[in-house]
Amino acid sequence: MVIETEELTIYDYWRTLTKHKYIILFTSIVLLVATYIFTDLQKAVYKASSSIKIGVPENNMMMPSMGVDTIGSEIRIVKSEDVIRRALIKTRSNKSVMDVMGELEVEQIGYSNMIQITGYSDKAEVAAMLVNAIAECYIEKSFEEKSKAEKEQKKYIQIQLAQQEKELFKAEDSLKVFKSKGGISGMAQAYASKLIELNSQISALKRQYTEEHPEVQKKKEEIKYVEEKIKDLSEQDSELIRLSREVSINESLYNNLRTKYQEAEIAEAGKVETSTIVNKAMAAKYPLRPNKQLNMIIGLLLGIIIGSVAAFFMESLDTTIGSVEDLESFIGLPVVGIIPKATDELEKKGGLLGRLFKKKDKDAYLKRHLILWYSPKSVLVEAYHTLRTNISFMVAKNKNKSLIFTSSGPAEGKTFSIINYALSSAEAGMQVVLVEADLRRPSINKIFGLPRENGLSDVLLGNITWKEALKGTSDILMSGLKLDNIIKVPGIENLKIITCGRMYTNPVDIISSASLDNLLTELKANFDLVIFDCPPVLLFADSTILASKVDGVVLIYQAGRTSKLALRRAKSQLDNVHANILGIVLNDVNIKMMPHYGSYYYSSRYYREEKKDPKDG
């Protein structure tokens, strides 16, 4: 067997959300309040950032280039314990060094030689002040380290210079002693001078070029050539040249060291800060977190989402039927009437203030049940006229003159529906008798203010005739109901009522007796329509017994309250006794949940309203 599943539409989703709107509203409010409290309890965190440009002095020989390693080193210096401690002392902060190190963020800006320092605090001014202090302390430390390096460099060169000076003096003394002995040839003197000159030239070139430079290589070749020539000289001449060369080399080294020493002195005297603050940190106007506005929006959205999920979950657990299509498809019976909520209609009167400050109405119970009397222009009246019309076609077509109104369970609006259906039928000119066959919990006699005695049970027991049990307009007038309301009701004289009679221990016995069959025959012969009010089908056997005797059965189903399985069991019990079920009345419907019926409601209300001012067009 193929089970057809109906595809859900946008309206189905909207109906579910509207049906459970209070769940969504509740969860939204709860989460909104919780978010507000959580956000309010959170400590505010402010962010402040400063940027520094890192540079190198032109005459600094210790840091000739600025690469990735250099930037990384500078970042580590910024985050060093010494810099942070200095900043804390400078700002007189109570924070610990470890806390600041954990919060501090230092990163390179793109591929530039700039770094950004970011700090956090629960106060905007403190965050900005601390970040600026760290930037300033970094520059101070960087300057100190560079100055220290320059001093150490100068000291090292000074020591080397003094040592080289001694070596030079020693070489010059040796040459001087050797020359004083005499016996030096002119050729040796020339080669010695040439060699000294070449050594001076190559020293000068090395200060500008590398060893592989062509000019340096050329001078090396010339020195090699002169040295080859010196080998051909006498031993005495060779010694002269060697001593002269030592003097030349020591003199060249001494001059180089002296030049470096002078450069170091200039660098020390300059003391130029190579790193500078590009952007100082400013106190933030708003905290980084918590973002109250964003948190509230997220809280509201979460509330709506969770509420919607809960709504769909509740809907999945709901075993009731809320729409006409679902009801007809599930039970296999037509819906012959749709009755809106009586409370919706009654509460519209007086507006919001009227509902809030309304006085207790002693006739409220009657007004809710006798809606055709007290609110003849109500949409409920239109609904019962429609119900009467639909059932009338079935009654006329199949000659169904006797009906029972029942339900699967209690409190589904069965009595409310049967009374107003009877009044509507009487208003249409039909001779109607309303029989109170609910002998266990009768209520029709209370609504009309009629005495319970001399009713159905008395007739079935043979104590009185059915005619003696009839109660009409005169009896209702004597009941204490407002006379003007009764007189205004058209066709009230067509309605007769048989109350339940005195209470009987086992109602099933008299309901299943032949006396009821005889009574039913008599009533059908004298009235156009015989209506029985019966107890719920699933609770007592009275209804199924009566259902097997009458011409038709009308099932009352309260939308959104009664389980659909209970409705199916009620139908099954009625089918077992071969009852003729005419259809179902969908009672207590929220018109906002049913757009088709809602449009009918407003259109009927439009045609029903009278113009207050004849001049209005």
Instruction: Return the domain boundaries, the chain.
Output: 10-42+290-315, 174-270, 321-608
Res 149 pLDDT > 50: yes
- What pLDDT does residue 527 have? 93
Distance CA 414, CA 539 (A): 14
Distance CA 87, CA 129 (A): 9
> Taking residues 161-168, what's their average pLDDT?
79
Lowest mean pLDDT among 7-11, 336-340, 534-538, 583-587: 7-11
Res 355 pLDDT > 70: no
Q: Which amino acid is at 2?
A: V
Phi and psi based region of residue 209 (left: phi greater than 0; alpha: psi -120 to 50; beta: remaining)? beta
Helix locations, 42-185, DSSP H:
68-78, 81-91, 97-103, 124-180
Q: Which among 207, 184, 206, 203 has a CA at the least distance from the CA of 195? A: 203
Q: What digits encode the pLDDT tens for the residues 100-115? A: 888 888 888 888 888 8
- What pLDDT does residue 449 have? 84
Q: Which among 264, 244, 257 has a CA at the least distance from the CA of 164? A: 257
> Taking residues 321-339, what's their average pLDDT?
78
Q: 3-class DSSP state for residue 397?
A: helix
Task: Please give the CATH architecture assigned to the domain spanning 321-608.
Answer: 3-Layer(aba) Sandwich (3.40)
Average pLDDT of the chain, as a whole number = 78
- Torsion of Cα atoms, 77 then 78 then 82 then 88, to 10°: 180
Q: What digits encode the pLDDT tens for the residues 222-280? A: 877 777 766 655 465 667 667 777 777 777 777 777 777 777 676 666 555 567 888 88
For residue 290, cis peptide bond before it (omega within 30 degrees of 0): yes
Looking only at the bridges linking them, the beta strands covering 276-279 and 46-53 are antiparallel
Res 137 pLDDT > 50: yes
Res 348 pLDDT > 60: no
Q: Are 157 and 267 in contact (CB under 8 A)?
A: no
- C-beta neighbour count of 17 within 10 angstroms: 17
Hey, what are 113's tokens?
A: 């030689």
Hey, what are 94's tokens?
A: 């109570």
Distance CA 391, CA 556 (A): 13
- Phi first, then psi, for residue 434 (nearest 5°) are -105, 115
Distance CA 576, CA 235 (A): 146
**End-to-end Cα distance, the chain:** 60
Distance CA 496, CA 448 (A): 11
Res 220 pLDDT > 70: yes
Confidence category of residue 321, pLDDT binned at 50, 70, 90: low
Distance CA 421, CA 372 (A): 9
- What pLDDT does residue 480 have? 64
- Phi first, then psi, for residue 337 (nearest 5°) are -165, 145
- Phi first, then psi, for residue 499 (nearest 5°) are -75, 180
Which residues have CB under 8 Å from 430's CB, separation 6+? 494, 528, 529
Res 574 pLDDT > 70: yes
Q: Are 434 and 418 in contact (CB under 8 A)?
A: yes
Distance CA 321, CA 328 (A): 10
Res 581 pLDDT > 50: yes
- Name the range with the highest mean pLDDT among 160-169, 193-202, 511-520: 511-520
Q: What angle do CA 116, 118, 124 make, to 5 degrees?
A: 135
Long-range (24+ apart) CB contacts under 8 A made by 608-616 are 608/377, 608/382, 609/377
Compute the residue count for the chain: 617
DSSP-derived letter for residue 1 is: -
- Phi first, then psi, for residue 8 (nearest 5°) are -70, 140
- What pLDDT does residue 572 have? 92
Res 413 pLDDT > 50: yes
Res 604 pLDDT > 80: no
- What pLDDT does residue 599 have? 46
Distance CA 576, CA 547 (A): 10
Looking only at the bridges linking them, the beta strands covering 529-533 and 432-436 are parallel
Confidence category of residue 332, pLDDT binned at 50, 70, 90: confident
Distance CA 217, CA 214 (A): 5
Helix locations, 271-378, DSSP H:
292-317, 324-331, 342-347, 351-356, 364-369, 371-374
More confident residue, 174 or 446: 446
> Taking residues 80-100, what's their average pLDDT?
85
Distance CA 473, CA 176 (A): 160
Q: How far is CA 255 from CA 165, 182, 197, 208, in A?
A: 9, 29, 14, 15
CA-based diameter of the chain, in Å?
178
- E strands, 373-431, are 402-407
- What pLDDT does residue 610 have? 45
Looking only at the bridges linking them, the beta strands covering 46-53 and 114-121 are antiparallel
Distance CA 148, CA 131 (A): 26
Q: What percent of the chain has pLDDT over 70?
A: 75
Distance CA 91, CA 127 (A): 11
> Taking residues 317-323, what's their average pLDDT?
61
